[in-house]
Structure formats: structure tokens, C-alpha cells
Amino acid sequence: MAQEDVFKKIVSHCKEYGFVFPSSDIYDGLGAVYDYGQNGVELKNNIKQYWWQSMVLLHENIVGLDSAVFMHPTVWKASGHVDAFNDPLIDNRDSKKRYRADVLIEDQIGKYEEKIEKEIAKARKRFGEAFDEAQFRSTNPRVLENEAKKSALHERFAKAMGEMNLDELKQIILDEEIACPISGTRNWTDVRQFNLMFKTEVGSTADGASTIYLRPETAQGIFVNYLNVQKTGRMKIPFGIAQIGKAFRNEIVARQFIFRMREFEQMEMQYFVKPGTELQWFEQWKQTRMAWHQALGFGAENYRFHDHEKLAHYANAASDVEFRMPFGFKEVEGIHSRTDFDLSQHAKFSGRKIEYFDPDINESYTPYVIETSIGVDRMFLSVLCHAYQEEKLEGGDTRVVLKLPAALAPTKLAIMPLVKKEGLPEKAREIMDELKFHFNCKYDEKDSIGKRYRRQDAVGTPFCITIDHETLNDGCVTLRDRDTMQQERVPVSELRARLEDKVSITSLLKKLC
């Protein structure tokens, strides 16, 4: 099945099974805004818990914070967002559709990459075992030609973005003959800057309302609380502050479902370090964060780092963790070495001294910062994309199954009486009443057992138990594993011990230590 079709299926699966709904659905939705349904909210909470615990429980020197969405407007002047948080936009005059000029060009770079990958896949099939990819890459004329085009484009693009040269961005689009995917034409307007921050007003207009912004990142809430946390927590450098919260960006293009939203959630951690040590910490956090992703078991080949050549004005190193989505490798998380830019700017704009007195060297300095910034929703999407599978079963049947890591699954255990009578529902309820304190259980007595299994497969429940007539005599139930579909008899008294380790976040956290 084409990857595009797989993605469409995932989107409709999300709606059908209560993971993600369009916002204000009865009014036909609101662009790039989504709501999480009964299963989505559980999966999302588990992702957040996995991240939070990996930061705050596993690191003695990382503490949490929950700062407000609204902040003093000068925060965004100091951070550079008022002047520079812009995306270059371009319109197609025929379709009247709006695009991000940089994304159009990045997609074009992606097309060259795809062509190269296709050549390699074809050759691998042809040569089998004997295939030497490195040699093929360095000698095949079509690969070399596409590599050359790709790197020339990349270089030109990076330069234009670095200088924010809008005319050059348009010229690249024209030279590469990039057409609008809707109208198919190349009738483009000029490229313009567009600030992504949402504005609103605080206070009643009568006594002078002032313009404030919905925060476009959670990080600034951490920077402005650096002194509060450092002092009250008596934190010694290096230390980190972690926060999970909503962020808002007036994204030009609403695309790819929850990949790019106007209201989304971030999990950010700012790690304050001694100047001069930041690049070591940057490398260390890259490894730590990659290990966090890979502990989910989705396969190392589905991740890669993308090191930035064009750095934001505040950064001296930056790298993205990219995951293989059905629409290509895409950024899920950014790891940035932000220097002392933010703290220095806030010191300048607030007139406060924002420093750290280092008792080891008897000196004060402005700490440098390594940031790890991951989108909850993008992470959610990557988990779902990897988990969604359509399997052919013996006998010609198919099943749709979400092979979610058990620790992230919305429901851990479905409890099913074989029939709705003869004391089986009562026994099932009794088991549920004991286990519900330990993990998320769902009771289900409707339809045949086969149909109930399919329903649980579709929402990723890793285990089901069936209570039958024998249970009343021998105290055992049938435990069914989602992935292998194997069934075994297990004493009710052993269920908790058997499952708890497999379904708890602790099982993931232990892989990180």
C-alpha cells in the first residue's frame, strides 16, 4: 500500500476509535486544531508521563515547572520573537493556496532524496546479498546526479534562509520549477514574512488594555523563572528545569494532521551549564534523548539526527531527532545549544542581574543553556504511525492492530466474561475491581469474543482475559497477547504480577538507566 494511503487510514482510524477528532467537529472543524478523544488522551498522558519521569525522576538535578501561557509582552521582545519569529510565505495565484516557501523547497530536497533511495532500493533488489551500498552511492551516475542537485539546492537554500533573502527564496522556487500541488501551476506571488505569534488583549479596553501573546514555546517560561527555581531549589549548576505545556503558533499551512498544529503541546527541558562546557552537554543530551526514543522499540533505523547548518541567531549548535513517518523522515524533537542568549536578553530587558555564583570557582557568570524540545502531538503521531498495522491472518481474515508499546497503550487489560450470564460477569467484575487500582482496565461483555478481541486490537490493548465457566472452578482465566495472539491459562492471583512489569512506564524507564 502507498505510504500516502497508509497515512489516510491512520487519520481515519484515529477518529473512528476515539484517538483524535477535528476540533469543533460539528461545525466542520477548525484548521490545524484537534481534540484528543477517550483513547487519545490516555496515550497522550502516557507519553507525557514517560517524558516527565525520564527527566524529573531519573535526574536528581532536574526539577519541574508549570508556568502560565500568558507572559509579560516584553518577554517576547527580549526573546526576539516579536521581531524574528517569522516564516516566509508564498501564495499560488491560481489555487489561492498559501505555502511556506521554505517547506516547498525542503520538499523539493526530499524529492531528490527519494529518487536516490529508489535507485538504491532497485539495485539492492537486483544484486541481492552482493549489494554494496557505499560503492553504488559513489559510482552510480543517476545517484551522483541527484546528489549533486540536492546539495547545490541545499546550499543555496541554507544561504537564502540565513540571510532571510526573500527574493532569492522565490527565485529558487522558480528555478526548481516547483508547482502548486493543487493547481499544478507556477504562478507564484512574491515571498513575504509572516509572524507566527497569536496576539490578544488583556484587561478591559476602557482602562487601557495591553496586547499580549499566546506563547509560541514553553521555554521562555523557564528562562524567566530561572532565578526563582535556582534560588528556592538551591540548585547547583549543571541543573535542568522541565516543563510540559501548550504552545500556539499561527502556522501558515495546516498540513499532515497533528504534525503541524496551531495549538499544540511541548515538553521542554532547559539545562543550565557552565560556559565552555555546553558542547559536551549538547552531545550528551543528543545521546540521552535518542536513547529515550529508541527504548520504545521502534527500530534504530527509523530515527536519524539532522544537524543544522543554518543556526538560529541564539544557537551555537542544533540538531533534530527525525523519525520515519509515512511522509518521510520528519523532525520530532529539537536539541539546541542556546548559549547565554535568552538569560542575557532577559537581564538586559528586565534590568535584573540573572547570573549564577559558582562556589567552585568563586565567580559569577551567566549560564549557558542546552534545550531539548519535543512536541507531544508529533510524538503521538510517530507512535501511532509505527503502531498501525494491517495483518493478514490464517484463513484469509485481516485485522487492524495498534502495536503500541504496552507502557503507552491507553488500556492495559480488557476483561471479558465469555457469556453475559451464569455468574461470569460477576466474576469478571470482581477481578476488575481488584486490578483497576494498578492499571487501566476495560470491561467488555458485548458481542462474540472474536469481535471483542478485534476491538481491543484496534485500540492497542496489549492483553485481554476471558472468564469462562472453568474460571469459577479453577480460578484461572485465559490470557491473550495482542501481538502473538497466543492464549494461555493463568491463575487470577498471578495476573497482577505477570502484567504490571510489562505495562508500566517503569519498564521503559529501566531501559534508560
Of positions 91, 333, 340, 342, contacts ligand ATP by CB under 6 A: 333
From the list 245, 243, 193, the residue with the least C-alpha distance to 215 is 245
Closer by beta carbon to ligand ATP, 376 or else 465 = 376
Handedness of CA 311, 314, 315, 316 (dihedral sign): positive
From the list 287, 244, 235, 286, the residue with the least C-alpha distance to 265 is 244
Strands 328-339 and 356-358: unpaired
Shortest distance, position 284 Cβ to ligand ATP, whole Å: 19
- Contacts with ligand ATP in 214-243 (CB under 6 A)? 217
Residue 332 interacts with ligand ATP (CB under 6 A): yes or no: yes
Closer by beta carbon to ligand ATP, 335 or else 495 = 335
Closer by beta carbon to ligand ATP, 266 or else 478 = 266
Residue span 266-305 as binding mask against ligand ATP, x where in contact by CB under 6 A, dash where not: x---------------------------------------
Whether cis (ω within 30° of 0) applies to the bond prior to 462 is no
Residue 442 interacts with ligand ATP (CB under 6 A): yes or no: no
Rounded to whole angstroms, the Cα distance separating 7 from 246 reads 25
Tell me how far apart the terminal alpha carbons of the chain are, to the nearest angstrom.
Answer: 39
Closer by beta carbon to ligand ATP, 382 or else 461 = 382
Q: What is the CA radius of gyration of the chain?
A: 26
Rounded to whole angstroms, the Cα distance separating 410 from 403 reads 12
For Cα atoms 415, 19, 323, give the angle at the middle one, nearest 5 degrees.
Answer: 115
Of positions 94, 113, 147, 251, contacts ligand ATP by CB under 6 A: 251
Question: All 3 cell numbers of residue 404?
Answer: 503500541
| Cβ-contact 467, 416 below 8 angstroms | yes
Residue, CB closest to ligand ATP: 375
Closer by beta carbon to ligand ATP, 340 or else 377 = 377
Angle between helix 505-512 and helix 492-503 axes, rounded to 10 deg: 40
Shortest distance, position 493 Cβ to ligand ATP, whole Å: 44
Rounded to whole angstroms, the Cα distance separating 92 from 200 reads 29
Residue span 371-400 as binding mask against ligand ATP, x where in contact by CB under 6 A, dash where not: --xxx-xx----------------------
Partners of 275 in the beta sheet? none
Span interacting with ligand ATP, options 59-67, 150-158, 173-181, 369-377, rule CB under 6 A: 369-377
Closer by beta carbon to ligand ATP, 31 or else 203 = 31
Rounded to whole angstroms, the Cα distance separating 415 from 424 reads 11
Of positions 37, 240, 326, 334, contacts ligand ATP by CB under 6 A: 334
Residue 264 interacts with ligand ATP (CB under 6 A): yes or no: yes
Shortest distance, position 264 Cβ to ligand ATP, whole Å: 4
Shortest distance, position 359 Cβ to ligand ATP, whole Å: 34
Residue 260 interacts with ligand ATP (CB under 6 A): yes or no: yes
Partners of 201 in the beta sheet? 211
Residue 478 interacts with ligand ATP (CB under 6 A): yes or no: no
Closer by beta carbon to ligand ATP, 249 or else 286 = 249
Rounded to whole angstroms, the Cα distance separating 82 from 71 reads 13
| Cβ-contact 19, 37 below 8 angstroms | yes
Closer by beta carbon to ligand ATP, 304 or else 451 = 304
Shortest distance, position 338 Cβ to ligand ATP, whole Å: 11
Residue 377 burial by Cβ neighbours in a 10 Å radius (0-12, 13-18, 19+): buried
CB atoms within 10 A of CB 129: 5
Closer by beta carbon to ligand ATP, 330 or else 480 = 330
Size of residue set near ligand ATP by CB under 6 A: 16
CB atoms within 10 A of CB 172: 21
Query: Phi-psi category of 234—alpha, beta or left, where left has phi over 0 and alpha has psi -120 to 50?
Result: left
* 65, amino acid identity: L
Closer by beta carbon to ligand ATP, 35 or else 331 = 331
Of positions 107, 168, 331, 434, contacts ligand ATP by CB under 6 A: 331
Of positions 55, 261, 385, 413, contacts ligand ATP by CB under 6 A: 261
- Beta strands, E only, 203-273: 210-213, 239-248, 263-273
Span interacting with ligand ATP, options 44-52, 110-118, 166-174, 256-264, rule CB under 6 A: 256-264
Span interacting with ligand ATP, options 57-65, 257-265, 466-474, 479-487, rule CB under 6 A: 257-265
Q: How many CA atoms lie within 13 A of 151 on its CB side?
A: 5
Residue 88 interacts with ligand ATP (CB under 6 A): yes or no: no
Span interacting with ligand ATP, options 48-56, 177-185, 327-335, 480-488, rule CB under 6 A: 327-335
| Cβ-contact 270, 223 below 8 angstroms | yes
Shortest distance, position 352 Cβ to ligand ATP, whole Å: 26
Span interacting with ligand ATP, options 41-49, 259-267, 440-448, 455-463, rule CB under 6 A: 259-267
Backbone angles phi, psi at 157, to 5 degrees: -65, -45
Residues that bind ligand ATP (CB under 6 A): 217, 249, 251, 260-261, 264, 266, 331-334, 373-375, 377-378
